Amino acid sequence: MEVVIGSAAQVARWAADAVEALLRARPDAVLGLATGSSPLALYDELARRHAEAGLSFARARAFLLDEYVGLSPEHPERYRAVIERELASRVDFAEGAVHAPDGGAADIAAACAAYEAAIREAGGVDLQILGIGTDGHLAFNEPGSSLASRTRIKTLTEQTRQDNARFFDGDADAVPRHVLTQGLGTIMEARHLVLLATGRAKAEAVHRMVEGGVSAMWPASVLQLHPHVTVLLDDAAASRLQLADHFRQTWAHKPAWQGL
């Protein structure tokens, strides 16, 4: 696990550098996209590079991590709508290239199996963007999630519903109770995981993820078992890390040829 600490603006730029390097080398790469506020500055930066530097998504495909169950197709907070607004509509993905779990499916189990199959048929995810919940959740894999889990329905914790109430006019009761989410086992199959976290509210979860034991109580700690994880943090999110100074020194002396 590589931990890189900088400003919030650097976090977004570093993540954009990783996406850009991949797309320039492999224009038909498969991206894993996250919602939430953590990747918003990254998506702004990717949209800017598309407009100003010719970065193209025309041959890429993308898979979202998760989706709410039961929101109407027109609801602006469906993650499919969010990613359309925040990224897809601002770059040049081909029609139908961005996929999300179907939170409106009548047969939830079949929809989850179909999503797993679609990821497999695309050849798997090359680079997965991730945020982290204040309780250490990844996608919507709440504490207690199997570390080997696959795409399935989950029940949100009250903490996550409170955290996400800001997207629903501050009303936690309006946040759906159920979601579909890639499992931790699904996420772990992506070839490169890039996790972004900013702000003090994430400091405890980041500490547990990087420096705690591997445990379903802090689902993101499963990333310790992945061979290629890049954790991009601002100073506030890194503020509980015992190894913060070491991570800063390692980054300062990293050979330029290594990349992220």
Contact set with ligand GLP (CB under 6 A): 34-38, 65-66, 131-133, 139-140, 160, 164
| Nearer to ligand GLP among residue 1 and residue 250 (C-beta) | 1
Q: Which is nearer to ligand GLP, 49 or 128 (CB)?
A: 128
CA–CA separation, 256 vs 260, rounded Å? 10
* CB 166 to ligand GLP: min, Å: 8
Residue 30, beta-bridge partner list: 61
Q: Residue 55 contacts by C-beta under 8 Å, 6 or more apart in sequence?
A: 20, 23, 24, 46, 49, 91
In a 10 Å sphere around its CB, with 0-12 CB exposed, 13-18 middle and 19+ buried, how is residue 110 labelled? Answer: exposed
37 or 56: whose CB is closer to ligand GLP?
37
Residue 255: CB minimum distance to ligand GLP, A = 31
Please answer whether residues 146 and 188 qualify as being in contact, where contact means their C-beta atoms are separated by less than 8 angstroms: no
Quick one: which of 248, 260, 253 has its CA closest to 7?
A: 248
- Taking the C-alpha atoms of residue 54 and residue 223, their distance in angstroms, rounded to an integer, is 33
Q: Toward ligand GLP, which CB reaches closer, 178 or 248? A: 178
Q: Is 109 left (phi over 0), alpha (psi -120 to 50) or beta?
A: alpha
Nearest to ligand GLP of 39, 111 (CB atom): 39
Tokens 């890049």, located at residue: 230
The CA distance from 202 to 115, in Å, is 29
Min separation Cβ 133 and ligand GLP, Å: 4
Question: Least distance (Å) from ligand GLP to the CB of residue 66?
Answer: 5
Nearest to 30 by CA among 120, 144, 156: 120
Q: Please state the closest distance from residue 35 (CB atom) to ligand GLP, in A.
A: 6
The set of catalytic residues is 66, 135, 137, 142
